[in-house]
Amino acid sequence: MPASLTIPALLEEQAMRFGEREAVVAGASRLTHAELRREARHAARGLRALGVRRGDHVAILMGNRLEWMLAFFALQQLGATVVALNTWATPREMQYALAHSDVSCLVAVDRFRRNDYRAVLAEMRSAAGVLPHLRRTVWVAAGDDSQIATAADDEAFTWDEMLALGQDTPDGDLDAAAGELGPDDVAMLLYTSGSTAAPKGILLQHGHWIRNGFHIGERQKVTEHDRLWLAVSLFWSFGSVNAMANLFGHGGCIVLQEQFEPGEALALIERERCSILYATPNMVKALAEHPERAQRDLSSLRSGATIGTPEQVMAAMRLGAAYICNVYGLSETYGNCCVIDADEPQDVRLQSVGPPLPGVQLRICHLETGAAVAAGEVGEIRVQGPLFCAYYKDEEKTRDAFDADGFFRTGDLGQVDDQGRLYYRGRLKEMVKSGGINITPMEVEEVLMRHPAVLAAYVIGVPDAVLDEMLAAFIVARPGAVVSPAELAVFCKRELSAYKVPKLFRFVTEGELPLTTTGKLQKVRLKDLLQEGTSP
């Protein structure tokens, strides 16, 4: 465990312990831990010259670039709060986050994917009073063909101009700013990606970022010799609060991919001999099905983190990460609060997300009374331990997020076995009550996905005059496979009680599934697909 209690102290500690080991690989750039510290302090001097001070909210908007990490560590050095902006967000969503978070400075790439962020920001600022706190912008060129002209006013700077401004900033100013910080100071402000209500701003602290990230890596058996392939976006807690804290806390190396592209990812993993895989199920699928997969040597892969059904976790293992860990958590719990140990048997790692991390208390609560239930029973997952300190500017939501005993209400369903290992069972709001009986859709989905013709299954409740709700299953069939609703119903009856067998089946393609801008399935919109093509 690092001795450091704040992120700038950790930057110093790891430079001392692992100074000559590689810390970051990003395109043609390679930095050791000592060089990372030096370059982060260089950026901190420039940002301080621009007026950034302790407590300021500064946003970062770009893909997985070296400048993202340098800006992050520079802002921690100054005691500022990093606001990680979603590169998939619409202009409306981005404007909300910038305005709500009171951002005073923005560090952004000029272009990313199809977005011209300079134009987007100019349009936002043309409306009077929309972003009253935003005073400075620092622009990073997207590539060699980008031409960022110096702005006519004094509010916009290029990355290089910002660095040049800080040449006369004394090192003592940086040390003094970092010395004022403690483990409970806020380091980051992340926004949820809710599809309906306004996103919540989640405040995360220095000490928990370090300690929880380290414990995640311990379950994965990470050491300073490990190299992480990271295409998971840094604006997500899975990237910046989980993966980054994990590898950096262990003195390992982070190999950045600016944005996910499976062919490039395969080549990068092979070339850099990455041993740690962080990937969502759709990323694993894209890697496995890419035409170049068979020609690439991924034997360096060993462990890492993923989520999903047993089949989806097994897909990551087949890719090469044989000791990958099934994980559970939210941004409010610093990415993960439960991680299965890499040394557990494979069948356990396929099913369970593991016991709580050190310092975390888990409680499974009755859905109506809130009382703790016995092992094996399904209830709401509630957590105590390393947690976010508040939802920004929302005392009521913060208060309502905790029960009377101080446990965070995750809104997720789960059960624990007699050894304290957690099994995730879906979202509480997705619970279906059919004929007065509670049914967890995830249990039915897991059974359906064991059918050889089923690639993916999603189960929801739909209104029914007799049962109140009945189960409807949306099925993505494997290419070339043919299966009927009747066959699937018979298959389910072999493993499920009769009331858990879906009454409706709808076959869909992956392209028909309603997704959020971050690629998450919007189950609430699946009912729209029932308007036609429903099979009894």
In 318-393, the DSSP E strands lie at: 325-328, 338-339, 361-365, 379-384, 390-391
H-helix segments, 305-394: 310-319, 346-351
Quick one: CA dihedral 169, 172, 173, 175, positive or negative?
Answer: positive
Q: Give domain 8-19+29-181's CATH architecture.
A: 3-Layer(aba) Sandwich (3.40)
Greater pLDDT, 449 or 530 = 449
Residue 526 near residue 514, CB atoms below 8 Å? yes
Least confident of 121-125, 258-262, 268-272: 121-125
Residue % of the chain over a pLDDT of 70: 95
Domain residue limits, the chain: 8-19+29-181, 207-428, 431-531
Q: What is the mean pLDDT of residues 85-99?
A: 91
Instruction: List all residues 6 or more positions away from 28 whose beta carbon is below 8 Å from its beta carbon.
Output: none
Paired sense of beta strands 325-328 and 338-339, if any: antiparallel
**Cα 168 off chain centre by:** 38
Q: Which of 206, 205, 251 is nearest to 224 (CA)?
A: 251
As a whole number, mean pLDDT of residues 150-164 equals 80
Q: Do domains 8-19+29-181 and 207-428 have the same CATH topology?
A: yes
Report residue 535's pLDDT band, with 50, 70 and 90 as the boundaries.
very low
Amino acid identity at 257: Q
Residue range 336-395, pLDDT digits in tens: 999 999 999 999 999 999 999 999 999 999 998 999 999 999 999 999 999 999 999 999
Assign 531 to helix, strand or coil.
Answer: helix
**CA neighbor of 173 nearest in space, from 273, 94, 74:** 74
Report the distance separating Cα 5 and Cα 528, nearest Å. 49
Confidence label for 530 from pLDDT (cuts 50, 70 and 90): confident
State the pLDDT at residue 517.
57
Which residue is it, tokens 């018979």? 490
Tokens of 148: 């960022």
Mean pLDDT along residues 402-414? 96
pLDDT at 533: 47
Q: Whole-prediction pTM value?
A: 0.87
Q: What is the pLDDT of residue 273?
A: 98
pLDDT at 529: 86
Give the pLDDT score at 152.
44
What does each C-alpha distance from 407 to 58, 150, 372 come to in angstroms?
Answer: 30, 50, 12
Superfamily grouping for domain 207-428: ANL, N-terminal domain (3.40.50.12780)
**SS3 per residue for 34-102:** HHHHHHHHHHHHHHHHCCCCCCCEEEEECCCCHHHHHHHHHHHHHCCEEEECCCCCCHHHHHHHHHHCC
Instruction: State the average pLDDT for the chain.
Output: 93
Per-residue pLDDT band for 484 (boundaries 50, 70, 90) equals very high
Confidence (pLDDT) at 528: 85
- Poorest-confidence range of 46-50, 101-105, 418-422, 491-495? 491-495
CATH superfamily of 431-531: ANL, C-terminal domain (3.30.300.30)
